[in-house]
């Protein structure tokens, strides 16, 4: 039998995700063929995950500055000023591909990775959020994926001791072959003690600390930049393995090292591991770097230079120390029981030089790796616009009570108690509102002050699918509304843009239009983007996920005594609907869950109106006049009312708004609306009238039923059973 011919480097490059024309560019940059180690380094740095080569052109459309922005995109995380010399540092990241292949470790290491992005800038993590999208509940893989992902998030976050306070979970057949696991971390730091990744000069020691390097996660960044097929389970070795106890030690050691004054620059080892961290630190600083890989702490024998550079083993950091401060670092690392070693030095060559076993195994200029990666202006076509549906186009329910029960027990709308009860929501003892309490955003107290941070994660993929531009606007507006509804001043967002294959013009069209819609909303609402992540190639066998540009947002509450939730409704309270109702049923939950259709234009987003109505709501909360507020979103008025009733353990009676077909008034998902419960409605009505905003009393709290006058009466206990029952029955069945 004849031996297989040896692969050419060009063929190997293709296996690593590099196109033939990209390989040609490498040849031009080096003026020679790369060796296998160099090829590996180029392949991860030029992957979509690390280089943003398909999206960078369009990401520049986002507003990224503002009066409170200390550091926008380009660093490990965004930094905003929250007053009193304090800063909030936050970011959202995806771990989609690893979580589909190995749900527990994929989700766990997603949590670990996003925390490192935050504490590598000097912040102590204080809150975690997640945005999860799973396939159809009936799909044979879905239940196992839900169980593994939730266990992974809880297992890691709970052990590290950071509360998981908010998030969202959706189910749809569009995610059958590619689930989404987006994790967000929020941290606190002194505004004058922020740490950055750029190496400041040549001649400084490069120190590795944390866990040893193993063979897990090799080519993880490349795997995250490719679509799946039927053999995707074979990619399990590309998934990293996390150790939350090591992460806890790493957090404490990193923060102590920073406090010692020894750090000149620092970077966590995330996607592409030691390659990415060293390239970015040297590239941002305009210096070179030389590493001796023999010095890298290794947990496996006989590791090659290629394996060490491309491993994505978790819980590792790379620091550049000030001259003569290695001993300070070593003392701290020994105290916390971490492996550490000086593995290199910054240089003035502008090159990355790697030595292993006495040989130079890599010598490449940094510029092509760091800021000269291929950038594409990919062709795109916009998705044809869906027609706007009038209420007459959508059937009314045969039985309104049954429709409400069915809506509130649908997988997307049903209680996720089974899920969030597995997360520690109160560790650190500063959580004021979380998934259990009935509020539109999680709220975490800024320790030792009266201030609090409100945090939320939002996306409505069905809107973005039907109209990427309006859907993009709505993603940002929804996040802004959720912060407003708890009384927070919205400050900034991070984003996690999850899409399919950008080489397909229709997918690229979704990306472009969603970004343009999001950017418009950010500008109109003074809500800049300070960090983010792009996750593309989320598809299997050519079937892309619904476009899912998730937004994580942070707002500031000046005094946490002046905040709102939707769980404090009292008997006799008037229910006031603020904002215009026209009855938008296109792409609505009612249309999908009750009628069985997913067509129609999503509700339009009037950003000026969003701002006008939101400002009124926030002022009413901050003045102490209102404490019970819920924004209207999925499921419309009846869903918001039902959620208020369930959270408050109190019934209510509504009168359907006039001038709109009843089913459209109850289930329509018109934007820029809030439902308020208040003992005296006059102040709310006066404030709305003064601002030229529609507001009316549409019901009253009390009793043990949820009812609409002349239409239906539904016992709250029956609604609760349906709402609370779906997920335990599903996961236990």
Catalytic residue positions, numbered: 49, 95
Angle, alpha carbons 116-119-120 (nearest 5°)? 75
For residue 217, give both structure tokens. 């996660």
Could you write out the three-class secondary structure of 409-478?
CCCCCCCCHHHHCCCCCCCCCCEEECCCCCCCCEEEECCCCCCEEEEEEECCHHHHHHCHHHHHHHHHHH
The position carrying tokens 């939320």 is: 456
CA distances from 729 to 114, 170, 411, 726 (A): 32, 17, 11, 5
Nearest one of 366, 332, 328, 360 to 347, comparing CA atoms:
366
Nearest one of 119, 124, 91, 110 to 157, comparing CA atoms:
110
Angle, alpha carbons 713-679-664 (nearest 5°)? 40
Rounded to 10°, the helix 636-648/716-732 angle is: 90
Q: What is the SS3 assignment for 42? A: helix
Q: What is the DSSP letter of 225?
A: T
Spatial distance between the Cα atoms of 497 and 537, rounded to a whole number of angstroms:
11
For residue 200, give both structure tokens. 């400041």
Is residue 726 within 8 A of residue 732, CB to CB? The reply is no
CA distances from 579 to 35, 563, 689, 699 (A): 63, 21, 11, 15
CA distances from 125 to 85, 115, 157 (A): 17, 7, 11
Other residues' Cβ atoms within 10 Å of the Cβ of residue 474: 28
DSSP 54-73: TTHHHHTTS----TTEEE-B
Spatial distance between the Cα atoms of 538 and 461, rounded to a whole number of angstroms:
14
Spatial distance between the Cα atoms of 115 and 594, rounded to a whole number of angstroms:
40
Q: What is the dihedral of CA 569, 572, 578, 582, to 10 degrees?
A: 110
């Amino acid at each position: 039998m004849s031996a297989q011919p040896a692969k050419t480097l060009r063929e190997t490059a293709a296996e690593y995700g590099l196109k033939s024309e990209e390989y040609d560019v490498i040849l031009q940059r080096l003026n020679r063929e790369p060796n296998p180690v160099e090829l590996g380094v180029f392949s991860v740095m030029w992957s979509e995950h690390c280089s943003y080569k398909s999206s960078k052109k369009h990401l520049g459309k986002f507003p990224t500055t503002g009066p409170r922005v200390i550091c926008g995109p380009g660093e490990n995380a965004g930094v905003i000023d929250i007053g009193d010399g304090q800063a909030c540092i936050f970011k959202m990241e995806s771990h989609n591909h690893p979580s589909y292949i190995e749900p527990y470790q994929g989700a766990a290491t997603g949590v670990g990775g996003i925390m490192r992005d935050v504490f590598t800038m000097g912040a102590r993590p204080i809150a975690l959020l997640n945005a999860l999208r799973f396939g159809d509940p009936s799909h044979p893989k879905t239940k196992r994926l839900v169980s593994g992902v939730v266990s992974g998030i809880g297992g890691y976050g709970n052990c590290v001791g950071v509360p998981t306070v908010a998030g969202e979970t959706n189910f749809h057949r569009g995610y059958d072959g590619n689930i989404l696991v987006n994790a967000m971390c929020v941290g606190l730091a002194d505004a004058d003690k922020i740490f950055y990744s750029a190496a400041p000069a040549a001649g400084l020691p490069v120190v590795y600390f944390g866990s040893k390097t193993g063979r897990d996660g090799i080519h993880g960044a490349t795997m995250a930049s490719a679509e799946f097929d039927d053999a995707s389970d074979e990619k399990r070795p590309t998934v990293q393995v996390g150790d939350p106890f090591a992460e806890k030690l790493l957090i404490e050691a990193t923060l102590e090292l920073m406090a010692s004054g020894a750090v000149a620059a620092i970077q966590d080892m995330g996607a592409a591991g030691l390659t990415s961290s060293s390239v970015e630190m040297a590239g941002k600083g305009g210096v070179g770097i030389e590493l001796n890989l023999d010095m890298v702490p290794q947990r496996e024998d006989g590791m090659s230079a290629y394996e060490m550079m491309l491993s994505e083993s978790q819980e590792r950091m790379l620091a550049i120390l000030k001259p003569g401060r290695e001993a300070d670092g070593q003392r701290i690392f020994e105290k916390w029981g971490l492996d550490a070693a000086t593995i290199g030095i910054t240089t003035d060559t502008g090159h990355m030089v790697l030595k292993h076993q006495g040989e130079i195994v890599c010598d490449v200029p940094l510029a092509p790796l760091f800021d000269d990666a291929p950038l594409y202006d990919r062709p795109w076509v916009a998705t044809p616009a869906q027609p706007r549906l009038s209420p007459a186009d959508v059937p009314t329910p045969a039985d309104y009570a049954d429709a409400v029960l069915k809506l509130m027990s649908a997988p997307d709308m049903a209680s996720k108690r089974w899920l969030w009860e597995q997360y520690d929501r109160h560790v650190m003892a500063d959580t004021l509102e979380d998934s259990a309490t009935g509020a539109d955003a999680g709220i975490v107290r800024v320790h030792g002050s009266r201030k609090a941070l409100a945090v939320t994660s939002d996306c409505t993929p069905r809107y973005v699918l039907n109209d990427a531009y309006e859907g993009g606007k709505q993603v940002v507006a929804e996040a802004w509304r959720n912060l407003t509804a708890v009384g927070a001043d919205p400050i900034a967002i991070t984003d996690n843009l999850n899409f399919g294959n950008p080489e397909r013009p229709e997918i690229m069209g979704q990306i472009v239009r969603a970004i343009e819609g999001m950017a418009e909303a950010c500008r109109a609402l003074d809500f800049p983007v300070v960090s983010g992540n792009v996750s593309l190639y989320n598809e299997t066998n050519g079937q892309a996920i619904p476009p899912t540009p998730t937004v994580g947002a942070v707002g500031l509450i000046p005094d946490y005594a002046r905040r709102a939730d939707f769980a404090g409704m009292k008997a006799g309270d008037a229910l006031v609907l603020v904002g215009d109702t026209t009855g938008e049923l296109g792409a609505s939950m009612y249309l999908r869950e009750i009628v069985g259709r997913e067509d129609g234009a999503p509700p339009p987003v009037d950003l000026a109106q969003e701002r006008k109505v939101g400002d009124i709501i926030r002022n009413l909360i901050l003045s102490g006049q209102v404490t019970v507020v819920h924004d209207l979103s999925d499921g419309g008025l009846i869903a918001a009312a039902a959620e208020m009733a369930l959270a408050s353990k109190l019934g209510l009676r509504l009168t359907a708004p006039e001038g709109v077909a009843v089913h459209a008034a109850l289930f329509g998902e018109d934007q820029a609306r809030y439902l308020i419960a208040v003992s005296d409605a006059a102040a709310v009505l006066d404030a709305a009238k003064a601002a030229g905003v529609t507001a009316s009393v549409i019901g009253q709290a009390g009793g043990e039923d949820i009812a609409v006058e002349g239409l239906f009466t539904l016992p709250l206990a029956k609604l609760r059973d349906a709402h609370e029952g779906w997920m335990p029955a599903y996961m236990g069945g």
